[in-house]
Amino acid sequence: MATLGDRKRQLLNRLAELDGRLHDIEAELDTHQSKDWGELAVEREEDEVLEGMGVAGLAEVKQINAALARIEDGSYGYCVRCGEEISEERLDVVPATPFCRICAR
């Protein structure tokens, strides 16, 4: 069974990983400036994929920050909708989740 400290470390590690990935995406987007039309079209398609990854990453950062705030205020591990305790198994899979299995549906 993971302790609250374990969960916090897991969330902080994921946050650091996402921060690095988002910086890499930003740097990659800044390098795409081909003069060739064919290459520019390919780069634009790659940019759309990278931008999608960036949006998903930013959403996860927001979820992690909210989970860290719940740790600080003592409400972590309880569903924000119904107030029931979130199972350890669910938190093992989705440590930033604000919802129990039933409310997440």
pLDDT in tens, 27-83: 887 776 666 767 766 777 787 888 889 899 999 999 999 999 999 999 999 999 999
Query: How far apart are alpha carbons 89 and 98 in whole angstroms?
Result: 14
Q: Cβ(88)–Cβ(101) under 8 Å?
A: no
The tokens describing 32, both together, are: 């795409």
- What pLDDT score does 47 carry? 79
List 85's β-bridge partners, or say none.
78
- What pLDDT score does 92 carry? 95
- What pLDDT score does 80 carry? 97
- What pLDDT score does 49 carry? 84
Does pLDDT of 87 surpass 80?
A: yes
Query: How far apart are alpha carbons 61 and 89 in whole angstroms?
Result: 22
Q: How do the domains of the chain map onto residue ranges?
A: 4-76
CA distances from residue 73 to 3, 30, 37, 50, 56 in whole angstroms, order as listed: 16, 39, 53, 35, 26
